[in-house]
Structure 1
Amino acid sequence: MANPIVGTIVHAVGGVAASTCYVPYQKVKKWSWDSYWIVQASFAWFIFPFLVGFLTVPNLWSVFSEASTEVLFNATLLGAIYGFGGMCFGFAIKHIGYSLTYTISIGISAILGTIVPLIMHGELAEKFYAPGGYIIFFGMFIALLGIIICGIAGYRKERDLKGNTTEDGAPLHFNMKKGLTLTLIAGALSAVFGISLEVGAPVAEIAGNYGAGNFEGNANLILSTGGAFITNFTWFTIVGIKKGTLQELIDVKGVGRKNLMLNFGMSILSGALWYGQFFFYGIGHVQMGAYKFASWVLHMSMLIFFSYIVGIVMKEWKQVTKQTYFTLVVALIVLVLSFIIMAYGSKQGAEIAASR
């Protein structure tokens, strides 16, 4: 039986995984970003999805063979389009940090990834007027407000950091203009991933019929991540050949055996954490029951919240003014409030539906 409260908690676990997935990169040594990315992308979008899919979905090949060719193709294609968003996301982090990148790009994704599928299915009004529906939409509005306040904190952070240096005397690199452009692209394309999962939902339903239970989402996730993998692997293989960085993956002499093992380990960990967010998303999505449409915005809001916690832990906000830090705290409080409202609306709706 579906339980929206359990679903909310599981989405929170996914949010923690997602907000920390790029942290291991800090430990990578003597590798370019391109080398790190191609390894983590291979595990995040190909190896882990297929491995876990085969372990958790009975008769996986039969599931795919029964699914519509159109659904399989469209879900994979949308995943491939999202792949470019993943690249922009990674580069944006280098310009404006974890907190702002997650806030702006995932904020856009949260709204578009929720509203667009409802419009596609003609269910926007139906979901709004369903029991608890208006409460959930109000929670979505509060989440959007929290995201906007996070953006304000980000601009204040940029102002505060101008002319500052790191602890070792190097200048702080914070390019809001370039980072904002990348995050806007990443946000729009990230929403495409949510739409890809929605398009591939019939595959998950077939997996459920085969007894996949809470893991039915692992079936259509393979399609979405598979598309993203094709885009990223192709792009970074070409870039690696042109730049000559691809050889770093096997350069024991130049990189060092110890560093090579460390780099692969950190890259694989990044891939595992990235995959983990949608592994838990699939479980949480099932638990939301009739209110699955709220899963995306809830999951993305959780991601934003925990990304700011990560940003604080990594001291990204250490040199900002008290006013800027206060703005950040207000934003986090508003986001937490939105989680509570959306969870309450889902629970109330589920109880009303069960009593009928």
Structure 2
Amino acid sequence: MIGTIISGIGWHTVGAASAASFYAPISKVKQWSWETTWAIAGLFSWILLPWVVTWFLVPDFASFYGGITVKAYLAMFFFGAMWGIGNVNYGLTMRYLGMSLGIGVAIGVTLVVGTLLPVIVNGTFGHLVTTQSGQITMLGIMIALVGIAVVTYAGHQKDKVLGQTASEFNLKKGLILAVFCGIFSAGFAFGLNAAEPVKEASLQIGINPLYAMLPSYGIIMGGGALINFSYCLIRLAVKSDLSIRHDFSFPVKSLCINGLLAATGGVMWYLQFFFYAWGEASIPQSLSFVNWMLHMSIYVLCGGLVGLALAEWRGVGSRPVRILCLGMMIIVIAANVVGLGMATA
């Protein structure tokens, strides 16, 4: 069991690293509106890749999906749409709090809601808090929240030193949006919980357990895609300073470069959930609630490492960097504590 737990944490790390890095190519897109860039990236991450991967896995779509209940479809799509609303709120959170503070609050709320609410709904929360393994795991979750808070504080100190504050900073409005973002973004965790019938159907037709959850992604992400595409298209339609015609009026070479960068970001965004499925498959089913916690906390850890690698902390002095390293160490400790809790189950 210990070997599979280590493997699961490792795959969650790969997925979180991909998520933490996805915006690097997107940030290099030139002369396109954010809405066009986000829509192109989303076309790859939410539509094309989920269904292309499913096409390779499922030999007969009609018989496979015909055996899934309408209730399961509606639940997956609904929670996917909920996750999509969280994505939109994520951008608004950055607008009013700035990147460092906004990410910290949003990820912290997402971690707590996405980890604990499915356990409460499933009626297993009592078992979690009354067993030794559950108590150790809960301790790991609390330590992870401390680590996220420390990394968030380090990022906030970095922004102060560099003079990088949100252009429309509003603490009250930003915190409210961050909480909403965290709650709605946890919809993906709920969607995965609702996708158990798809996972069972995958296993029944002989799909490798590492890939068993992937055929549900097209449905869950389809709900998120509906919200995100609608938001982008409405913005492009009603805002006078935004225009699809303008974004696609540049030379073919520029369009290809922008499209490739946006697509690369979209692929990296999808890969976080691809490897999440591998991590989830490696963690014992009785401990599945820790998957979301591992993903979100390691996402913050990898975000800090990516920031250091991209020299985003250059010129801030040693104190914010030391605080960042402390926060990342706490998150590593949290992952180990969670692993210990799972090993004693």
Measure how far apart 1:309 and its partner are.
Answer: 1.3
AA aligned to 1:139 is G
Contact (CA 8 Å) 1:76, 1:226: kept in 2 or not? yes
Q: How does 1:212-227 map to 2 (within 5 A)?
A: 212-213=207-208, 214-227=210-223
**Corresponding residue for 1:140?**
141
**Corresponding residue for 1:247?**
245
Q: Secondary structure at 1:27's aligned position in 2?
A: coil
CA RMSD in angstroms, aligned pairs only? 2.4
Residues 90/312 of structure 1: CA separation in 2 closer, same or farther (3 Å cut): farther
**Corresponding residue for 1:332?**
328
Q: Secondary structure at 2:22's aligned position in 1?
A: coil
Measure how far apart 1:305 and its partner are.
Answer: 0.4
In the alignment, structure 1 residue 274 sits paired with structure 2 residue 269: yes
Which residue of the other structure, out of 263, 266, 289, is the alignment partner of 2:258?
263
**Corresponding residue for 1:117?**
118
Contact (CA 8 Å) 2:94, 2:166: kept in 1 or not? no
**Corresponding residue for 1:285?**
280
Contact (CA 8 Å) 2:41, 2:265: kept in 1 or not? yes
AA aligned to 1:294 is V
Report which stretch shifted further, 42-51 or 7-16.
Answer: 42-51
Q: How many residue pairs are counted as aligned between the two chains?
A: 339
**Corresponding residue for 2:293?**
297
**Corresponding residue for 1:183?**
178
Contact (CA 8 Å) 1:74, 1:199: kept in 2 or not? yes
AA aligned to 2:207 is A
Measure how far apart 1:174 and its partner are.
Answer: 8.6
- Per-residue Cα deviation, 1:220-239 (whole angstroms, up to 9, x for no partner): 22221010011111221122
Measure how far apart 1:346 and its partner are.
Answer: 1.7
CA distance in 2, matches of 1:176, 1:340: 37
Measure how far apart 1:316 and its partner are.
Answer: 3.1
Residues 204/98 of structure 1: CA separation in 2 closer, same or farther (3 Å cut): farther
- Per-residue Cα deviation, 1:293-321 (whole angstroms, up to 9, x for no partner): 11010111111100111222333333434
Residues 294/19 of structure 1: CA separation in 2 closer, same or farther (3 Å cut): same
Residues 33/112 of structure 1: CA separation in 2 closer, same or farther (3 Å cut): same
Report which stretch shifted further, 310-319 or 34-43.
Answer: 310-319
**Corresponding residue for 1:348?**
344
Q: Secondary structure at 1:67's aligned position in 2?
A: coil
Residues 189/259 of structure 1: CA separation in 2 closer, same or farther (3 Å cut): same
Measure how far apart 1:172 and its partner are.
Answer: 8.8
Q: How does 1:9-24 map to 2 (within 5 A)?
A: 9-24=10-25
Contact (CA 8 Å) 2:33, 2:247: kept in 1 or not? no
Measure how far apart 1:96 and its partner are.
Answer: 6.0
- Per-residue Cα deviation, 1:79-117 (whole angstroms, up to 9, x for no partner): 112112112324545676655444332221111101000
Which blocks of at least 5 consecutive residues in structure 1 are unaligned?
165-170, 350-356
CA distance in 2, matches of 1:13, 1:270: 15
Residues 114/61 of structure 1: CA separation in 2 closer, same or farther (3 Å cut): farther
Q: Percent identity?
A: 28
In the alignment, structure 1 residue 203 sits paired with structure 2 residue 198: yes
What TM-score, normalized to structure 2? 0.90
Residues 188/319 of structure 1: CA separation in 2 closer, same or farther (3 Å cut): farther
Residues 93/211 of structure 1: CA separation in 2 closer, same or farther (3 Å cut): farther
AA aligned to 1:257 is V
AA aligned to 1:212 is I
What TM-score, normalized to structure 1? 0.87
Q: How does 1:52-131 map to 2 (within 5 A)?
A: 52-93=53-94, 99-130=100-131
Residues 24/88 of structure 1: CA separation in 2 closer, same or farther (3 Å cut): farther
Q: Secondary structure at 1:320's aligned position in 2?
A: coil
AA aligned to 1:240 is L
In the alignment, structure 1 residue 31 sits paired with structure 2 residue 26: no
Which blocks of at least 5 consecutive residues in structure 2 are unaligned?
none
AA aligned to 2:273 is F
Contact (CA 8 Å) 1:34, 1:245: kept in 2 or not? no
- Per-residue Cα deviation, 1:186-230 (whole angstroms, up to 9, x for no partner): 222111221121122222122221222221111222221010011
